[in-house]
Structure formats: structure tokens, C-alpha cells
Amino acid sequence: MKVTIGIPVFNCESWIAQAIESALGQSWPDKEIIVVDDGSTDRSGDICKSFGSRILLVQQPNRGGNVARNQVLKLASGDWIQFLDADDYLKPNKIRSHLDSYAGAVEADILCSATIWEDWRNGKPASQTVGVLKEGSDWVALWLTWSLPQTGGCLWRKRALEKIGGWNEQVPYIQDYELYFRAIQEGLRFQVAGAPLAVYRIWSDNTLSRRDKKGVMRGKTELIQCFVRWLKSAGRWTPNYQRLAGRYFFEMATALAYEDLPLATRYYRERKREGLMQPGGLQKPWWKYSLYSVALKCVGFSSVARLGMSLQQIRRPALSPARL
């Protein structure tokens, strides 16, 4: 089976060489690397050119990451496609791990493994967190809790990706979850396969999604609401899904409080009216849910949020608030 590794790049001169080298270094022998330079104005294009004929380099005017990814899809000759962001990288056996573990398994359209989250501080890696993705996972539940693998964690069967129309070129961020949404809608088959060998690097607060946290939250909320409506229309909405979505909305409300407490309070009330607000969080022990519920009934969301922010500053003064 041939694998196409597609790398969109825009002004990423610090990392693009490592991304390409990690693609070239994959132990899976039957592969091609397509790099789409989406109008970079830094040295990214020249760095890509230095790899010569070992990669297929396409240079185009800046039109966005999803346009670049669709260009990869159009040019790919592989049976499977591995997308890789320009500031991330793959461990050498990433693709082999997928395909070796998949051999003989049921027919699948998307091979998924957990990813490694590499957090950078002061220009160097500070920590790595290895994600968990279990066989037999409920993919709808993972979607509702924003727990599906980051882009680099998946191999997409090319014909399946073409079937759902590729990447949505109108979506500026949360592109992978919009794509996952359509994959679930169309009944594409997800399969856990391989080890966590894709590295997602968190190194800057200047990316589009981190500069516009309110916009990201708004986009997430609209997409989740759309997903919930679809689940209801398809007869797949359950009390458990409602609980999970409510917990994730509560986490977003508390994170938004660091940016704009009045807006977060309105957000909390709106989701509560929709029946999509569950006190607590996805990772917190069960007993904290009860504490949240009691506190919210007694003093309201604003006071609970203020208290939470004060306690976090006391416990972890050097760390930034939870990311949206």
C-alpha cells in the first residue's frame, strides 16, 4: 500500500525542515511526500526547495491550510494519506505502526492512533504528554468531548476522503473536527491502529486559533450544536452524549471566564437553557461534580468562576489559564 504524506506550510521556517525530514525518514518504504507552500513570505519555500527531488513541492498563492490539504488530496497517488502540519513531526515508525497493526483487520477508512503533545516554553521542549486511544472507543463520544486524535494521528484512505469532499475550504480553524463530523455523518469506518508516534508541538501563542480564542470558542460551539442537532435527527442522541457535551461546554465556559467573565456568564446561561450545561469537567473526579453543582446553585456561575481563577493563580502562578 502506498502512502502519501502531505505537508501544508505557511511561514514556518523554524520547523518545516524537521517535518519534511520526519516524513522522509518513515520506515514504510512505499511513500511519497507532497509539500504545498501556501504563499510563504519567509524562508519556508527555499528550505522546501533544498530537499530537491525527494519531495514534490507545489507553491501557490496564500489561500489557507485546507486549500493546501485539498491540493495534496488532488495530487496524491497513495492509497492512504498522512497529513502533517508544518510545525509537527512523526516518529520513524509512525506509518508502519498503523499499517502493520491494521493488516488483516476489518475494512477501515480512517486509521487512528493517539498523539504526543509536546509543550514548548522559552524556546525549548518542556514536557510531553502521550495521549490514549482505546480499541472499541465510542467515536461520537470522543468527538463531543474534543478527544479525537490531532491531524497527524490519522491515516485517511484516499477514496474515503474524496467521498466526503475533502477538507472544507471555508473553515479557518477547528478544521479537523469539521472533517471528522462529516466522516461520522457519512458512516466512514474508524479503526484504532498503531502506537502514539505523531508529535503535536505547542510552541506559540501567535497562531490563529490562539490569537482569537473567542472566535475559536464560537466556532466550536456552533459546530457542536450542529452535531447535536444531527444526532437528534438521526435518533442517536442519548443521555450520556448530553452529559458529555454539557461537561465540555462547562469547561469552555470556565476557560472563557479568563478572557471575558460577563461573556462567559451569558454563555453559561445560554447553554443551560439548551440543556447543554453539566457542572464539572471531563477529567475531574466524580465528587467534584457535586461540589460544582452546590456552589452554582448557591452563588452562581460568576462567583464560582472568580473563585476558580483565584485558586488557580495561587496553585499555579506561572501557568497560563486553560486553553480554549
Domain boundaries, the chain: 3-208, 212-315
User: Alpha carbon of 172 to those of 11, 59, 164: distances in Å?
Assistant: 16, 20, 18
What residues does 5 pair with on adjacent strands?
A: 33, 82
Please choose, from the candidates 259, 255, 254, 248, the residue with its C-alpha nearest in 3D space to the C-alpha of residue 301.
254
Cβ distance 66 to 165 under 8 Å? no
CA distance 37 to 291: 50
Exposed/middle/buried for residue 98 (C-beta within 10 Å: 0-12, 13-18, 19+): buried
Written as nine digits, the cell of 104 is 488483516
The band of 114, judged by pLDDT with boundaries at 50, 70 and 90, is: very high
Instruction: State pLDDT tens for residues 141-166.
Output: 999 999 999 999 999 999 999 999 99
Instruction: State pLDDT tens for residues 162-211.
Output: 999 999 999 988 999 999 999 999 999 999 998 999 999 998 766 655 66
Given this structure, which CATH class describes domain 3-208?
A: alpha beta
Residue type, 275: G
Whether the model clears a pTM of 0.85, i.e. scores above it, the answer is: yes
Q: How many residues does the chain have?
A: 324
Alpha-helical runs (H) found in 145-260: 158-163, 175-185, 208-211, 213-233, 239-256
Cβ distance 86 to 8 under 8 Å? yes
Instruction: State pLDDT tens for residues 63-78.
Output: 999 999 999 999 999 9
